Structure 1
Amino acid sequence: MKKTYQNINFDLRQLTKPFVLGLLLCSSTTFAQTNKAVIDNIMSEGTNNSQVEKLAHELLDGIGPRLVGTPQMKQANDWAVAKYKSWGIAARNEKWGEWRGWERGISHIDMVSPWVRSLEGTQLAWSPGMGKKTSVAEVIILPDLADSIAFQKWLPSAKGKFVMISMAQPTGRPDYNWQEFALKESFEKMKAQRTAQTAAWRNRIAKTGFTARTLPVALENAGAVGIITNNWSAGFGVSKIFSAYTKKVPTVDIALEDYGLLYRLAESGKKPSISMHTESKELGAVPTFNTIAEIKGTEKPDEYVMLSAHFDSWDGGTGATDNGTGTITMMEAMRLLKKYYPNPKRTILVGHWGSEEQGLNGSRAFVEDHPEIVKNLQALFNQDNGTGRVVNLAGQGFANSKDYLGRWLAAVPDTLKNRIKLDFPGKPGAGGSDFASFVAAGAPGFSLSSLSWSYGSYTWHTNRDTYDKVVFDDVKSNAMLAAIMAYMASEDPEKSSTVKAEGVKWPVQNKATRRGGLHN
């Protein structure tokens, strides 16, 4: 018996190597088949039953812009939690700070002299309201004076007036329009004129002794009834809409076409007058939240894959491409994962961040509050530069990022990946969007960077960032890409390396501002 046993052992030892190899090949084949099935299902569902248009309508049209501290921001947080729960995904709102609460009201702005015209204008974020009051007053231009002493002498002249404090642009046509149609010498002449005019206006402001931030306050303190600006965004009919600095009187951005009209009339002595009525509400200190959703891991629940997009926006438009599209991309990706990958190896999280626009505050707070996630992060994928399809992926300065990102991308169908330019190891992002909050902490956060679609001029922080600018085919592609990358990162048997490339200067980890726009 013993001899027989030994013979059997001997035979097994002879078979061990090919037998194990066969098992490995079988396992590899099974994994590849499972891989393909999950990815095929994601692609089919994302192509034929996408929910991105429905999500966009509910968020952008139904709720609107999501300025931090506004009721719409909290409404969006609650909407997202409810939507995730309807898909069977655990979700919560996680408080990280508080902000100056403010609610935009109606605006009516009309030129009433020398003739009547309704003007296109938007009160800036956090602009003081006028209650039920309507002001009718002359519009004057900030004068070009010798120095701050002369300006102080002039200041009483602002009392009872609307004061224009922006340069009047020499053209409302974007440069690409000039390049297509103008004579070369005409284009060069216009650019030279604009450059000189811009420098002269900057000098005009400097000679007042104030800055762009402090000048409006000085004018309101002198009795101006309102401040008028134009922050042109270098495209037809488009303005950037940021913050007001006034505390008592409204600050309103008038669109270039109407701003130029008022400026020319004032400059030529026609003394234009406007009627303005703007409303807004101060809401005191309000809590601010990140919305977090989670599909719990089964094998490595304490390791994490994250999807990421900021939820807040400026409120000149409805925040459609900054960052409504990133938001619905990641929501749709989570829906696809829950449907076809409900039991991931690692825990899959999504972060919808608050107050990105004021300095990545929501994501920085999350990094500070969740060191256990940052430490065990397999990868984070963030999308936040418009509606376009993803065309760039960089390694963010991580020395071995090419290895694992390359493995995950290899499984992505060519229709999604063949347009993506890669940069390894790349340089770590120091800001710009929420992935940088994680990179600064040494965690592998990556930006899924998109094709422009004239983002910088036409939709980034503008009054034209609305639903109609969304390119849904590109958003659908991005959602499928994000879902597949998250799936592959979750399934990878190896933990991603966070070794930093040699000679790369790493960004400083900045603290979140947790109390914003409030007097301490």
Structure 2
Amino acid sequence: MISSRCLLACLTALSLGAQTAPEPLLQTSQRLRAEAARTNGAYEDLAWLCDRIGHRLSGSPQLDRAIDWAQARLKAAGLVNVHAEPVMVPHWVRGHESADLLLPTPHHVHILGLGGSVGTPEGGLTADVVVVGSFDELDKLGTAVKGKIVLFDVPYAGYGRTVAYRHDGASRAAKYGAVAALVRSVGPISLDTPHTGAMDYDPAYPKIPTACVTIEASTQMRRMQQRGERIQLRLEMGAKLLPDVPSANVVAEIRGTEKPEEVVLISGHLDSWDVGQGAQDDGAGSVITMEAARLIQGLGLKPRRTIRVVLWTNEENGLRGGQAYRDAHRAEFKQIIAAVESDSGSEKVQSFELDLPKASAEAKTAALTALKSTAAPLMEPFGVALKLGHSGADVSPMVREGVTGIGMNHAGTHYFDVHHTEADTFDKVSKEDFAHNAAALATFAYALAQSDVRFQ
């Protein structure tokens, strides 16, 4: 059954929407949109972040510089309570890495070690390659892969389905005695540019080195095996995991005028992988979050509730930022109206998705009705849908404990083409789309801050 609290929230939102949504907030939204297009502040900030700081792996000096830079930009925009909240994060170092096919046709193979992987023995290792297309195929081979390198040549079938091979492949191969694991890049294309990402080890099995290869190399080795040819590869990886190091989440606020204790949280993650410039993942989400707050502050708008910016650390290889924030702020969970995250690139926003994993189906429907009554008229000019879905990795530790999550989801037409690669660079960002997204987030956050809506 639907709770009386949720019904009350829905009715409150419907009432508020009828009173305030059509004219004043629509006019405010138009002003935000015009200001975003006039200044292109988000575009310029992302260019600086990408060109002057670059990729920002957890534990790197580049991430430390980005944290300092973000605080300075938020202070310059006039936000208050700008500070860094300390977090201890993993410090994985890639080191030198290379791979060369020795048989049947010698040539260099492009690889990227997976985050968290161990390195090869000093001097590298040389072994035959066995290509499999699934975990089931590996299980059928069993100990036949002992002493060999297992290559998971698994076609991309959507990130959520295919990423398991990147995350779990090393331990699944080590279970049967493999000396290393390679994974076909998790994406629809690679243009001979491998995709990296996080992996994890099952403590029940030995830790073996693991890396991604390009789609081109993976499918070539598949064809070689189908022809009955012996595949031999030399792999060298200098990867190592060092002790944890200090980092921080960046936090800043526009304080609410009437209900400052109630918070609308907007966010993205500052860290990236150690390749490319981290433009799409997630420089884009971090910068439009900063810009949304700057637009609201710059126009002199006074939200009733507090709008809080959080720029997360260590999303890519640990999620320590989201976990630390959950632990430090648990006492105020009931006052966090929604935790919004943007972490799907820079293309035009398509939807804001309400995430209530602990709610009943009826409560979710009522909450979505409340969201639509509050924000749908404002989102219509942006072409943005409001629906149920997933929020984001960094807010997920809070969401699992009852905080309302909202995911800002972008078109993603080419997001996974460059995701976690050297090709994740600023040149692929559209200035018009970026201004559009910043204004949409500013409008959405301001609407929630002006309302009395509660989703659960």
Q: Report the TM-score when normalising by structure 1.
A: 0.66
Amino acid at match of 1:243: M
1:165 aligns to 2:150 (yes or no)? yes
Alignment match, 1:191 = none
Shift of 1:482: 1.0
The residue matched to 1:349 in structure 2 has which SS?
A: strand
Query: CA–CA distance in 1 between the matches of 2:209 and 2:78?
Result: 45
Give yes or no for the alignment of 1:229 onto 2:196: no
Q: 2:454 aligns with which of 497, 507, 519?
A: 497
Name the SS of the counterpart of 1:330 in structure 2.
Answer: helix
- In 2, distance between residues paired with 1:452 and 1:149? 36
The 1-side partners of 2:399 and 2:221 are apart by: 47
| Counterpart among 439, 449, 453 of residue 413 in structure 2 | 453
Q: Which residue of 2 aligns with 1:95?
A: 86
Distance in 1 (CA, whole Å) between partners of 2:216 and 2:140 is: 33
Does residue 32 of structure 2 align to residue 42 of structure 1? Answer: yes
Map 1:210-249; keep pairs closer than 5 Å.
212-217=169-174, 224=179, 226-237=180-191, 239=195, 241-243=197-199, 245=201
> What letter corresponds to residue 498 of structure 1 in structure 2?
F
1:121–1:147 Cα change, 3 Å:
closer
Return the offset for 1:114. Answer: 5.3
Give distance in 1, aligned partners of 2:132 and 2:350.
Answer: 47
1:474 paired residue among 433, 436, 439: 433
2:348 aligned partner? 389
- SS of the residue corresponding to residue 453 of structure 1 reads coil
Contact 2:198 2:317 in 1 (8 A): no
2:373 aligned partner, one-letter code:
G
The higher-RCO structure (CA 8 Å, 6+ apart) is: 2
> What SS is found at the alignment partner of 2:366?
coil
SS of the residue aligned with 1:241?
coil
Contact 1:240–1:463 (CA under 8 A) maintained in structure 2: no
Residue 113 of structure 2 corresponds to 123
Q: What SS does structure 2 have at the residue aligned with 1:82?
A: helix
Structure 2 CA distance for aligned equivalents of residues 282 and 56 of structure 1:
30
Name the residue aligned to 2:361: none
Could you say which residue in structure 2 is the equivalent of 1:109? Answer: 99
Percentage identity across paired residues of the two chains? 26
* AA partner of residue 235 (structure 1): I
Long gaps (5+) in structure 2: 1-18, 356-363
Secondary structure in 1 aligned to 2:188? coil
> In 1, Cα distance between the equivalents of 2:115 and 2:436?
33
Mapped partners of 2:317, 2:367: distance in 1: 32
The root-mean-square deviation of aligned C-alpha atoms, in Å, is: 4.2
- Deviations for 1:38-73, whole angstroms, at most 9, x for unmatched residues? 544422221121122332233344444444444444
Partner residue, 1:422: 386
Which position in structure 2 is the counterpart of 1:309?
268
Report the alpha carbon displacement of residue 337 of structure 1 after superposing the two structures with TM.
Answer: 1.8
- Residue 307 of structure 2: which of 342, 348, 357 is its match? 348
5 Å-filtered alignment, 1:286-435, equals 286-315=245-274, 317-341=276-300, 343-357=302-316, 361-396=320-355, 397=364, 399-403=366-370, 405-411=372-378, 415-416=381-382, 419-423=383-387, 426=388, 429=390, 432-435=392-395
Contact 2:113/2:196, CA 8 A, preserved across alignment? no
State the alpha-carbon separation in 1 of the partners of residues 370 and 140 from structure 2.
64
The residue type equivalent to 2:446 in the other structure is Y
Larger radius of gyration: 1
Residue 46 of structure 2 is aligned to residue 56 of structure 1: yes
**In structure 1, distance between residues paired with 2:347 and 2:274:** 21
Deviations 1:363-409 (A, max 9, x none): 34423422454222344432223333222234542725534653344
Question: In structure 2, what is the Cα distance between the partners aligned to 1:386 and 1:39?
Answer: 22
Alignment partner, residue 6 of structure 1: none
Contact 1:296 1:347 in 2 (8 A): yes
Q: Check 1:482–1:273 CA distance in 2 against 1; reply closer, same or farther (3 A cut).
A: same
How many residue pairs are counted as aligned between the two chains? Answer: 414
* 1:324 to partner: Cα distance: 2.5
Render the CA deviation track for 1:161-192: whole Å, top value 9, x for unaligned: xx3312446xx8x89xxxxxxxxxxxxxxxxx
CA distance in 1, matches of 2:352, 2:444: 12
Q: How has the CA–CA distance of structure 1 residues 380 and 168 changed in structure 2, closer, same or farther, with 3 Å as cutoff?
A: closer
Separation of aligned partners in 2, 1:271 and 1:263 = 11
Q: Judging changes above 3 Å, is the alpha-carbon distance between structure 1 residues 369 and 466 closer, same or farther for their aligned structure 2 residues?
A: same
CA distance in 2, matches of 1:148, 1:257: 25
Q: Displacement, 1:439?
A: 4.2
